[in-house]
Amino acid sequence: MPEPSLEYLSPTVSEPERRRLHDDGATLVALRRRGHDHGFLVRRSRPEQPEDLATLWRDDLPIHLPGVLDGGLEVFADEIRESLAMFERLRRGARFLHELEPRLEHQQRFRPTGSTVDRSDEREIEKIWMSAVDGEATVADELWAKLSWIANDESDQSLRISFSFGVEQLEEWREDADRAPFADAVCEEAFPECLTITGHVPLVEALEDLLAARVRFSERIVYSNANGGGAVFHHDAEPHQRGVIFGQFAGRTAWLAVPKRSLAEHVQAQARGDLAKRVASPAAALTVLDDESDRERFELLNTNAAFTERLVDSGAAFILEPGDALLLPNHGPDDTCWHSVFGVGRASLAHSYGMF
């Protein structure tokens, strides 16, 4: 990992010490998520963009690009404000269908066909189904936009809107690349601020250099992380997906991001008791990471402040401000960048796209 640009403070640090750091010009960010206090990040200066992106990408390391999206934020300032306002209405109980329909009124290519709620998914709020048409002909069906809670926890008001197609349980999106561009285009019609990323020509060219191929931004998600919320450790190692780009459009988030093999080493070093026995070898540690039902593994990754401190000290922590982007490489199930997100301060707005 690169040298850490952030310092760690214990959850028990005193208020006078935090005030002293603030008065000295440091930025302090609290790492709290759904009742678990992980401590604080201390940033003494804004980081610069790394120069050798190719090496970081090759090694599955997260790539922080501070300020790379600043120009797009200026162009789409009104759209970003409206998206933030939309999420606040949704938190207060507004119908997602009533929010999405006006966003598609300016065009005739995509038509909403109805909405459903999957009662078996405790996080899903509402899914809007759409068709892509050319005149009277349907050219793609079962496109959808789904509003859901990020966590199954009433204390976390973080929301996400994901765009895809087909039956989720059958993972049709993995096998049908022909419909994917239509789902991508629906997101762009509904959220014009997508162009902050997809219309950023130098950024797209840099990404295509990393991938050594043309890039399609797909399986798009629009996020609004709330204070004290966010996502626990996970990965995005999907078939054919080469990585993820996350763009911070408003508000702030804090991240822990680390290659899976390095994360397994940290787990080996920090595990105790029965978990330590189950991660005794590198291969076993990788297997345990994949077991989402393993409670000890979950608690170490997501509730243990000492483990968070270890990751921060290793350089795996990042603070994303408006205009920042974060790249998360993926080269396979064991060669991918795992990550964890903390909502900080007021509810934020961000977009995340898989790169195919």
pLDDT per residue over 114-128, tens digit each? Answer: 999 988 889 999 999
C-alpha Rg value of the chain to the nearest Å? 20
Give tens-digit pLDDT for 271-289: 999 999 999 999 999 999 9
pLDDT reading at 2 higher than 70: no
Share of the chain above pLDDT 90, in %: 92
Give the pLDDT score at 133. 96
pLDDT reading at 14 higher than 80: yes
Three-state DSSP at 297 gives helix
Cβ pair 266, 313 in contact under 8 A: no
> In angstroms, rounded to a whole number, what is the distance separating the alpha carbons of residues 213 and 210?
8
Q: What are phi and psi of 229, to 5 degrees?
A: -115, -160
Three-state DSSP at 317 gives strand
Give Cα 251 distance to the centre of its chain: 14
Which amino acid is present at 145? A
Which amino acid is present at 9? L
Give the pLDDT score at 172. 77
Mean pLDDT computed over 311-332: 98
Query: pTM of the full predicted structure?
Result: 0.95
Give the pLDDT score at 329. 98
Question: Sorting pLDDT into bands at 50, 70 and 90, what band is 293?
Answer: very high
Three-state DSSP at 247 gives strand
DSSP conformation class of 50? P
Q: pLDDT averaged over the chain? A: 95
Give the pLDDT score at 52. 94
Give tens-digit pLDDT for 150-175: 999 999 999 999 999 998 876 777 77
Give the pLDDT score at 103. 97
Give the pLDDT score at 169. 74
> In angstroms, rounded to a whole number, what is the distance separating the alpha carbons of residues 73 and 93?
28
pLDDT reading at 220 higher than 70: yes
Q: Residue 291's CB: how many other CB atoms inside 10 A?
A: 11
pLDDT reading at 1 higher than 70: no
Cβ pair 76, 196 in contact under 8 A: yes
> In angstroms, rounded to a whole number, what is the distance separating the alpha carbons of residues 123 and 104?
25
pLDDT reading at 3 higher than 80: no
Residue 227 CB contacts under 8 Å (≥ 6 apart), including other chains: 343, 344, 345, 346, 347
pLDDT reading at 100 higher than 70: yes
Which amino acid is present at 95? R
Q: What are phi and psi of 203, to 5 degrees?
A: -65, -45
DSSP conformation class of 6? S
Mean pLDDT computed over 175-180: 85
Cβ pair 68, 237 in contact under 8 A: no
Share of the chain above pLDDT 70, in %: 99
In 88-242, DSSP assigns E strands to: 110-116, 124-134, 137-149, 159-165, 217-224
